Amino acid sequence: MKLSHFNFNLPEELLAEFPTENRDESRLMVVNRKTNTIEHKLFKDVIDYFDDGDVMVLNNTKVFPARLYGNKEKTGARIEVFLLRELNAEQRLWDVLVDPARKIRIGNKLYFGDDDSLVAEVIDNTTSRGRTLRFLYDGSYEEFREKLVELGETPIPKYINREVTPEDAERYQTIYAKEEGAVAAPTAGLHFSKHLLKRLEIKGVDFAEVTLHVGLGTFNPVEVEDLSKHKMDSEEMIITQEACDIVNNAKAKKKKICCVGTTSMRAMESSVSSQRTLNPYTGWTNKFIYPPYDFSIADCMITNFHTPKSTLLMMISAFCGHDLMKKAYEEAIKEKYRFYSYGDAMLII
């Protein structure tokens, strides 16, 4: 498969700028791989497709307010700093992206907050937009982290062309988010309400939680026609023994295992035994899933509608089958489904 196989025309008005009023009332397209059919539902109808003993695998990563705005020393130019990952807690070193990048050189200082209470020094260039910053702050490490949260804003995706609202802090987060470390939400999980989770629980559906801290690499455009040459950024992940037990027991009993989101799928596929069972793992993954690919564990998945040429779309193609995926996306555009982070959902069974 080549990059050009994943291009399609997406009308701009289908990129969702705001979430639906109620989480579980976004639309749900159900794509059946056996019958090659497509149904149109609401997200809360997802409960009709699962039974007692089935498992949903959730990514419990939590988005932190990763976008800061600072001023460059001397010129006072406004600079956006996007926190990617902490490199060293003791030295307060962070990998970041800066914008506009051409103005930011090694040795520059950036000042944050009305009172300049947080200062950062640029100590390295990593990519054209990437820098390593050392933060200078007088308080303890806990106070420093609180300061980042106080000054940061919810990192809603760049294509959402509006100011961040207080509502985003809640809605750009799954209701089961626990482990802080993501710079983007695992968006398939945004459709679950407390009420829906409770109803699934009452029906006997089990939940296995994995952690994959979503980095910006997930959204990096693929720029090579030959997909085997694309390199994914590494993202940190944790799969506990408890999660493995839930998944492997269900698999042994031939119950359905549903990955909620491409990130849960990547985490699981990054730690599979030769017997096709799930292994515990703590570390990093740069796994890139594109067709053809033989999935080891999940037999259904929930995902959002993705943008052209994205690595996420490539995984969906591998799981769904390329022709059926194309048919589903043509239908989604025709039926005006909402795309991307705040958009509608797809269940592939």
pLDDT tens profile 173-200: 999 999 999 999 999 999 999 999 999 9
If pLDDT is split at 50, 70 and 90, which confidence band does 258 have?
A: very high
pLDDT digits (tens, 9 = 90+) for 143-154: 999 999 999 999
Least confident span in 119-123, 158-162, 248-252: 158-162
Cis peptide before 292 (omega within 30 of 0): yes
Around Cβ 322, how many Cβ atoms within 10 Å?
Answer: 16
pLDDT above 80 for 93: yes
What pLDDT does 265 receive? 98
pLDDT at residue number 158: 82
Token reading at 200: 């699934």
Read off the pLDDT of residues 291-340 as tens digits, 9 standing for 90 and up. Answer: 999 999 999 999 999 999 999 999 999 999 999 999 999 999 999 999 99
CA angle centred on 25, ends 19 and 26, rounded to 5°: 50
Among 112-121, 257-266, 307-316, the range scoring the smallest mean pLDDT is 112-121
Is the pLDDT at 217 greater than 80, yes or no?
no
Whole-number pLDDT of residue 281: 98
Distances in whole angstroms, Cα of residue 171 to Cα of each of 78, 138, 212: 27, 33, 19
pLDDT digits (tens, 9 = 90+) for 21-78: 999 999 999 999 999 999 999 999 999 999 999 999 999 999 999 999 999 988 889 9
Tokens of 334: 């025709």
pLDDT value at position 127? 79
pLDDT (average), residues 90-107: 91
The whole-number pLDDT of residue 259 equals 98
Q: Please, which contacts does 36-40 make with residues 24 or more away whose CB atoms are closer than 8 Å?
A: 36/324, 36/327, 38/327, 38/328, 38/331, 40/335
Give the per-residue pLDDT at 290. Answer: 96
3-state SS of the chain is CEHHHHCCCCCHHHECCCCCCCHHHCEEEEEECCCCEEEEEEHHHHHHHCCCCCEEEEECEEECCCEEEEEECCCCCEEEEEEEEEEECCCCEEEEEEECHHHCCCCCEEEECCCCCEEEEEEEECCCCEEEEEEECCCCHHHHHHHHHHHCECCCCCCCCCCCCHHHHHHCCCCCCCEEEECCCCHHHHHCCHHHHHHHHHCCCEEEEEEECCCHHHHCCCCCCEHHHCCCCCEEEEECHHHHHHHHHHHHCCCCEEEECHHHHHHHHCCECCCCCECCEEEEECCCCCCCCCCCCCCEEEEECCCCCCHHHHHHHHHHCHHHHHHHHHHHHHCCCCECCCCCEEEEC
